[in-house]
Amino acid sequence: MTIKAKAVVLTAKNEYSVREIELDPPKDNEVRIRMAATGLCMSDLSVINGKLPMPMPIVLGHEGAGVVEEVGANVTNVQVGDHVITSFIPMCGTCHFCQHQEPWLCTATDLFSGMQPDGTSRVKLDGEYIGSFAALGNMAEQVVCPAMCVVPIKKKYSLSAAALVGCGVMTGAGAALNTAKVQPGSSAAVFGCGGVGLSALQGAKIAGANPLIAVDLNDAKLEAAREFGATHTVNAGKDPVAQIMEITGGIGVDYAFEVIGIPEVANQAYAATRRGGTCCLVGAPDAAAEYKFSGLEMALSAKKVCGCLYGSTNAKVDFEKLLGFYETGQLDLDRMQSRTYKIEEVHQGFEDMVAGRNIRGVILHGN
C-alpha cells in the first residue's frame, strides 16, 4: 500500500518546501517509520545551499526518532511498535569496517546518492521517484529506510530528545567519549559552541575533563556553554590560544576539539593542544578547504591530529548509552532543543539556524 506523508523536499538550490510525498512499502531488509521528531542539522543546510551537493529533488533530514510501523521481509533488529533512532551511517554487519568493530565507517549506503543501497528509491514526488538524504530523508512524517539504519531504544525516553542523538549530540559527545577518549582529570577545549560543540563539551564533562574550556566568538553562546559544563570560557576574538595557555599554565590542553570546520580555527585548536596531546577535527569544512600544520612541529611536539566521523559511534550501543546519561542528568538533551517547530515552519527553523538563534531546532510531527 502506498503511504502519503508530508516531507521537506529540496527541489533546487535554496528552494525547499513542504510537499506531499508517496512512499512505497518497505522491501526486504527495510522498515517504515512514523517519525516523531526530526532535528535540523547544519548538514541539511549544507545540502540546501549546495555546499554538500546532492541530486535533487531530495527529501531532507537525517537526524530523527520515531516508531516502526511496518517491516519488510528478513528484518530482525526491530519490530512494529519499536521506538527507534535513525542512524545516517548504516551498520551492514558484513563489510570490513563493521567486522572490525568500526561500524561508523560502514559504507553500505552512499551518503551522497540519495538512493537506497540497491540504487533505487522508495519516495515519489508528483509520481516520479526522488532521493532521500542518507537513504533516510526523515524530515518527513514517514520514511522507508534500510533496517540497518535504525536502532531500537527503550520506550521510556522522549522521542524528541532521542532524535538529537541521531546526529548532532552523538557526533559531539562521541568525539569526546569515543574518538579522543578524554580521560578523567585531563584538560579539554572545544572550539565552537553550537549544538555539536555543546555536545562535545557535555561528552568531555561526562568523561571528567577539568579544566573544560569553551571557545566561541559569541558571548551568549559562551554563557550557554557554562550551563552545559564549561569551567572556563574564552572569547575567540581575543587571542584564544594565549588565553588557553594561561588557563593551562603554559602547557596547552590535552584535548582540543574543532567543531565548525574552519581552517583558521583548526590552526588555533592545534596550537592550543599540548605537546603529545590530541587535536580532534570534528567540523565539516568546505570541500575546497585545507588544514595546514608544520610537519616538523608536529613531529617534534608529538601531537596527534584526528578526523572524526559521527563520533566514532557504534550506534547499537552508544545511542542507548547517551540516553542513559540523559536519564541520570549527566547529558542535558532538554535545553539542547532550544525551539520546536511544526513541519510547516521549517523555513523559520533554518532561518533561526542561520541567525544562530538555536542550539538545536527540532521539528515535531505531532503524532
Report if residue 149 touches Zn ion, rule: CB under 5 A.
no
Segment 29-48, which members bind Zn ion (CB under 5 A)?
41, 43
Instruction: Out of 95, 217, 298, 305, name the contact with Zn ion by CB under 5 A.
Output: 95
| Residue count, binding to Zn ion (CB under 5 A) | 8
| Nearest-10 Cα torsion for 224, 360, 63, 123 | -170
Only one of the segments 160-168, 231-239, 298-306, 345-353 lies at the binding site for Zn ion (rule: CB under 5 A); that segment is: 160-168
| Shortest Cβ 144–Zn ion spacing (Å) | 20
| Shortest Cβ 198–Zn ion spacing (Å) | 14
Other beta carbons within 10 angstroms of residue 220's beta carbon come to 11
Radius of gyration of the chain (CA): 20
| Shortest Cβ 45–Zn ion spacing (Å) | 10
CA 366 to mean position of chain CA atoms: 23
Burial of 294 (0-12, 13-18, 19+ CB in 10 A): exposed
Q: Interface mask (CB under 5 A) for Zn ion, residues 101-130, using x and -?
A: -----x-x----------------------
Instruction: Out of 7, 68, 92, 188, name the contact with Zn ion by CB under 5 A.
Output: 92
Burial of 356 (0-12, 13-18, 19+ CB in 10 A): exposed
In order, the DSSP letters of 267-296 are HHHHHHEEEEEEEEE-S---TT------HH
Give strand ranges (E) for 49-149.
Answer: 58-59, 64-71, 83-86, 123-125, 128-132, 142-146
Cell (9 digits) for 269: 585548536
| 165 versus 271: smaller Cβ distance to Zn ion | 165
| Shortest Cβ 350–Zn ion spacing (Å) | 13
| Shortest Cβ 299–Zn ion spacing (Å) | 34
* Cα–Cα dist 294/212, whole Å: 26
72 φ/ψ angles, rounded to the nearest 5 degrees: -80, 180
Instruction: Out of 60, 71, 98, 180, name the contact with Zn ion by CB under 5 A.
Output: 98
| Shortest Cβ 222–Zn ion spacing (Å) | 23
Q: Interface mask (CB under 5 A) for Zn ion, residues 42-81, using x and -?
A: -x--------------------------------------
| Shortest Cβ 302–Zn ion spacing (Å) | 33
34 φ/ψ angles, rounded to the nearest 5 degrees: -90, 115
| 43 versus 358: smaller Cβ distance to Zn ion | 43
| 148 versus 262: smaller Cβ distance to Zn ion | 148
| 44 versus 254: smaller Cβ distance to Zn ion | 44
Only one of the segments 92-100, 178-186, 245-253, 304-312 lies at the binding site for Zn ion (rule: CB under 5 A); that segment is: 92-100
Element (H, E) at 264: helix 263-272
Instruction: Out of 23, 52, 75, 167, name the contact with Zn ion by CB under 5 A.
Output: 167
**Nearest one of 212, 154, 223 to 186, comparing CA atoms:** 212
| Shortest Cβ 9–Zn ion spacing (Å) | 18
Binding site for Zn ion (CB under 5 A): 41, 43, 92, 95, 98, 106, 108, 167
